[in-house]
Amino acid sequence: MRVAVIGSNGQLGTDLMKALQDGHDAIGFTHENLEVSDYNSCLKLKEHHPDVIINTAAFHKTDQCEDDLVKTFSVNAIGARNVAMISKEIGAITVLISTDYVFDGDKREPYTEDDATNPINSYGISKLAGELYTRQNPRHYIVRVASLFGKAGASGKGGNFVETMMTKAKNKETVNVINDMWMSPTYTKDAAFIIVQILELKLPFGTYHATNQGYCTWFQFAEEIFKMQGLTPDMRPIVTGQLVTKAKRPQFSALRSLKLPIHGIITREWKEALSAYLTERGAI
Ligand SMILES: NC(=O)c1ccc[n+]([C@@H]2O[C@H](COP(=O)([O-])OP(=O)(O)OC[C@H]3O[C@@H](n4cnc5c(N)ncnc54)[C@H](OP(=O)(O)O)[C@@H]3O)[C@@H](O)[C@H]2O)c1
**Residue 97 CA to ligand 1 centre (angstroms):** 9
* Ligand 1 pocket check for 162: Cβ under 6 Å: no
- Local mean pLDDT, 10-residue blocks, the chain (284 residues): 98 98 97 98 97 98 98 99 98 99 98 98 99 98 98 85 96 96 98 98 98 98 98 97 94 98 97 97 92
Q: Which residue has a Cα nearest atom 36 of ligand 1?
A: 7
- Judge residue 115's burial from the number of C-beta atoms within 10 Å of its C-beta, 0-12 exposed, 13-18 middle, 19 or more buried: middle
* Ligand 1 pocket check for 31: Cβ under 6 Å: yes
Q: How far apart are CA 26 and CA 47, in angstroms?
A: 14
Q: How far apart are CA 183 and CA 195, in angstroms?
A: 20
Please indicate, yes or no, whether the overall pTM of this predicted structure exceeds 0.85.
Answer: yes
Number of Cβ within 10 Å of residue 213's Cβ equals 20
* Ligand 1 pocket check for 156: Cβ under 6 Å: yes
* Ligand 1 pocket check for 192: Cβ under 6 Å: no
Q: What is the pLDDT of residue 157?
A: 78
Q: How far apart are CA 10 and CA 24, in angstroms?
A: 19
Q: What is the pLDDT of residue 51?
A: 98
Q: What is the pLDDT of residue 208?
A: 99
* Ligand 1 pocket check for 48: Cβ under 6 Å: no
- CA distance readout (Å), 3 to 40, 142, 152, 154, 177: 20, 16, 20, 22, 39
What count of Cα atoms within 13 Å lies in the side-chain half-sphere of residue 181?
20
* Ligand 1 pocket check for 78: Cβ under 6 Å: no
**Residue 76 CA to ligand 1 centre (angstroms):** 10
